[in-house]
A and B are shown apart, each in its own frame.
Chain A
Amino acid sequence: MSAVADKYPELQKLGVEVISVSVDSHFVHKMWNDHELTKMVEGGVPFHMASDQAGNLGRAYGVWDETQGIELRGRFIIDPDGVIQAMEVMTPPVGRKLSETIRQIQAFQHVRASKGSEAMPAGWEPGGLTLKPGPDLVGNVWKVWKPSMEK
């Protein structure tokens, strides 16, 4: 969670709010923040650390693991209309890569700003080429984009 906290200023610049969720109580969240996370990120965790001891949120989001009584590592990008645009769910031993989450947010923000008229090719980075789907592009993507153009 410290990795998300560390990138919080960057997420805020993109207009993104963060909520973390686990089955620990909010009292344990305080202890974890005060005793460990503040040593990893200056100022500690700057967003709401929500508690879901009964797993209700986890079940609704499909990340509840009833055999272990925990929530899997699940990351959901939700747009301003409350619609889920992207999700990533991982088993516990591997951590997230926040730069990829931020890239996806930027891509979805770009799509939204274009009112859905533009699409982001594989490996798109901010400032990169976007595609404008329409009759002229059918069968002609190869003229403007190739996998070798990925950074």
Chain B
Amino acid sequence: MAEQPQGCARTTGAVMGEKPSAQPAAESPEKKEMTMTARVGQKAPDFEAPAYYKGGFKSVKLSEYLGKWVLVCFYPGDFTFV
């Protein structure tokens, strides 16, 4: 993906097809349970997120890698110890 202009807003990743909630504070627990949960044998939730890649800032989208094997690795945080 193309290099994107960088602002000071707190950017984040987003799951494809889910619109950001208008009232984030008042979410009911039932609604939370409806969010997609990854399971083996099921489609991986598609996402797009801002990323650091080879010296630049580019967003990355999972579905752009359809046709390839993908390893997605979550980890607790940068500058942690393991």
Question: Which A88-114 residues sit within 8 Å CB-CB of chain B?
Answer: 92-96, 101, 105, 109
Count CB-based A-B contacts (< 8 Å): 204
Residues of the B chain whose Cβ atoms lie less than 8 Å from the Cβ of A29: 51-52, 78
Question: Which A62-103 residues sit within 8 Å CB-CB of chain B?
Answer: 62-63, 68, 70-87, 92-96, 101
Number of interface residues of B (CB under 8 A): 48
Rounded to whole angstroms, the CA-CA distance of A127 and B60 in the bound complex is: 35
Considering only CB atoms, which chain B residue lies closest to A73 in the complex? B75
Question: Which A27-46 residues sit within 8 Å CB-CB of chain B?
Answer: 27-33, 36, 45-46
The 6 closest A-B CB pairs, nearest first, are: A29-B52, A32-B78, A52-B13, A60-B45, A50-B49, A54-B12
Q: Which residues on A are within 8 Å of B, measured CB to CB?
A: 1, 4, 11, 14-33, 36, 45-63, 68, 70-87, 92-96, 101, 105, 109
